[in-house]
Amino acid sequence: MAQYGQLHAIQRSVWQARLPLEIRLAASECRSFNRADPYLIAFPRLSYLPLLLPRLHAFFYSSLIADPETVSPYAGYFTYDNVPLKWHLPLGLLYDIYVLSTQDAGPDHAASESLPFKLTLHFAPDETGSSMLDATPVVLHDSFINSVKEADFLRSGTAKPIMTLSAQESKALWTSTQEGDLMTFAKIHSSLVPAPGQLRNVPLRVYLPSSPDQDPSKAQIKVLQSHISPTVPGGGPSSPAALRGGGSGAGQPQTLGTALHQLIPSLFPSRRTPILATPLLHGTPIPMTANLDELLRWGCYADGWLSIVLAMRG
């Protein structure tokens, strides 16, 4: 019971965590020579930036060069260091990818990250001319639910749990995420997660930082995803079948270290010690010995994914 209480406290702290933001309107779209005042807010790490767009459109309404009546709030998008941010990723994950992954994550790494997270807001089409889907409430909801369905299929080997949710429960899952309502979310999410010993695969995504010599404006997020068994089969952690899906049969619990060693052995030659890169979850270094099943149950994002960001060690 003590361990359960500790893990629940971890989940609660994840849901309560907020990230200070400083959002400025792009200079090329601002009618003020010395730029408009920034929009400052502490926003939940688990939430999504497009949810701020209506408020930001209203805040910068009088500063827009373009006629604000013709500018849809949901046409807005954000950049960090001239890099367009993916609107369907949670705020905290974006921060870990673009800020924390670029910092030295060695043993003396401190938690004094670069805050606030300074973003630029754009309403005009991006300079590359690529079409960007407006992040309307419907589009954002559908993207979230699709991600939940994918995670559900990996966990259970079927999408039956998510498909059996009522329309009201499905809506409440998304609404509780927007409102930071852990109690409502946990009640619905727990019905999707298989009982201990029944987990088929761990929905794990690993985000690798871009090469330091890349043009920041052309930076790409490299994402690794595989079918990760919650246990290491009898052949041992070096067995080729160690990460093969197919249930949680007999074997040792899969740890973050054994999973990363199998996925990226060049970065994780050791299963227990982070030598070249440090795994981060919700902005915090995670021990390589952490049980992957427990990390998923108590540390996943609201869409059900265990999203790990790698920070290179100096």
Q: 263 near 224, Cβ under 8 Å? A: yes
Please tell me the distance from the alpha carbon of residue 5 to that of residue 8, in angstroms, as a whole number.
5
Other C-beta atoms lying within 10 Å of the C-beta of residue 257:
22
- Prior bond of 116 cis (ω within 30°): yes
Q: What is the pLDDT along the chain (314 residues), one digit of tens a residue?
A: 445 556 677 788 999 999 999 999 999 999 987 788 999 999 999 999 999 999 999 999 999 999 999 999 999 999 999 999 999 999 999 999 999 998 765 545 544 558 999 999 999 876 544 445 788 999 999 999 999 999 999 999 998 999 999 999 999 999 999 999 999 999 999 999 998 889 999 999 999 976 555 555 555 789 999 889 999 976 544 444 444 444 444 579 999 999 999 999 999 999 999 999 999 999 999 999 999 999 999 999 999 999 999 998 86
CA distance readout (Å), 200 to 205, 225, 244, 290: 16, 15, 10, 18
The model's pTM? 0.89
User: Domains of the chain (ranges plus CATH)?
Assistant: 13-133 (3.10.20.620), 139-192 (1.10.246.190), 204-233+251-312 (3.10.20.90)
